[in-house]
Amino acid sequence: MKIIDTISEIENQLQGCRKKGETIGLVPTMGALHEGHASLVKRCTADNNISVVSVFVNPTQFNNNEDLKLYPRTPEKDYELLEELGVDYVFSPSVEEMYPEEDKRVFDFGQLDKVMEGEFRPGHFNGVAQIVSKLFAIIKPDNAYFGEKDFQQLAIVRDMVRQLSMPVNVIGMPIIRESNRLAMSSRNQRLSEEQKKNASEIYKVLRESKSSMSEYTPEKLSDYVIARINNVPGLKTEYFQIVDGDNLQQVTVWNDSDYIVGCIAVFCGDVRLIDNIRYK
């Protein structure tokens, strides 16, 4: 496994692979890797001749400097895991390497980035699009892998690829959960054991809501979920929205769409957690 920190070197290395007709897969990460990331990497190495994992905490997608400062960074542990998983290249650039000057590009995602995460984290998805488009332009992957925990992000990346006519196959992978069913996240490292126990109620309530959907309208079910989660010590729901899985707009009746997903953001203390569940 080679760890590379400059754009010119990773481009040179991959150019040789491409000339041999080898397929390239990319898993973009911000490090602090866990089993969720490992599932993406395993799929990437299985699907492609060459696997690349980027490890880069992207400042342009944080609208809270404190959150950026507190984001966990465990590079040595990450590299050890990636070597065990058989990764060919790790691309781990500095901020100055990726942003030698300010990236002033502004993307238009219509309503996709105005709801849910976009409403509560203004500018977040523009930052995601900036870094992912840069990585795609540098690595030029045939396939790129993203977790479905970040459901809205996956929709944004797919729309960005469509807008920029990038020849990348974007593959979404199922949520990986801890033994208590809490969705795996790098941010979980900041939770105490008691907080993790409380946070495990998020998915428990989501699952219960799925079995109760015939009894409620989407709006009433949303109210039910929020009330249940807010009743758990230390948890505070930021939003829970039941949306069309394609356009991310809220549904008002269950037959509005054949693809309906409930997306949630919850604060556990000062740690912000997201999760989702597919209703149909």
Enumerate the active-site residues.
37
Terminal CA-CA length for the chain: 41
244, with CB counted inside 10 A (0-12, 13-18, 19+), is middle
Q: Residues 47, 25: contact at Cβ < 8 Å?
A: yes
| Three-state DSSP state, 106 | coil
Compute the distance between CA of residue 268 and CA of residue 201 in angstroms, rounded to an integer. Answer: 11
| Residue 243 and residue 177 in contact, taking contact as beta carbons nearer than 8 Å | no
Write phi, then psi, for 139 (nearest 5 degrees): -80, -35
CA distance 187 to 185: 5
124-139 helix and 7-19 helix, angle to the nearest 10 degrees: 50
